[in-house]
Amino acid sequence: MAAVPHVLLATDADWIRDDIDAALSDPDTTVSRVRRGSDVTGAIAQIGPDLVILDLQIGNMGGIATCHAIRHEEAAGRLDPVKVLLLLDRADDRWLATTSGADGWMVKPLDTFRVRRAARAILAGEPWDEHPEPVG
């Protein structure tokens, strides 16, 4: 999948890492990983990923707070803009995602096809919400 040259995955769950690796593995794709939300902005500054994938339940600073931190650092000019995909635990978490500044979100469990479609859409500048119907 040449459209995703460098992905930063933020999760402390090995099964999510395995699913993302399976979905985005390609000779031209690099997937880096951090296990703590507080490490994400530093990793973005260091490696300059094309896409950041945030697990909602990442340790010490959840995915929503981490996305807010990314957008704050971008607004302050300390980070270059980056595309963000949130991995939600359930469809009802979508209302949280809409306030996060993420470019897209999807509900776990993951599968290869859905992850690839979401990554491609977000990198093409399209928003991604696989369940666009209203919640609540």
Q: Is the pLDDT of residue 70 over 90?
A: yes
* Mean pLDDT calculated for residue range 53-82: 96
Find the CATH number of the domain harbouring 74: 3.40.50.2300
Residue 135 is assigned to a structural domain of this protein: no
Gap between the Cα atoms of 100 and 88, Å rounded: 12
pLDDT number for residue 1: 39
Q: Is residue 134 part of a domain?
A: no
Averaged pLDDT of the chain: 91
What is the extent of the structural domain holding 45? Answer: 6-129
Q: Is residue 65 part of a domain?
A: yes
| Residue 120 falls inside a structural domain | yes
Please report, as a single letter, which amino acid is at residue 60.
N
**Phi/psi of residue 31, nearest 5 degrees:** -115, 115
Kindly state whether residue 14 falls inside one of the protein's structural domains. Answer: yes
Sequence-ordered strand ranges (E) for 1-136: 6-10, 30-34, 51-55, 83-88, 104-107, 128-129
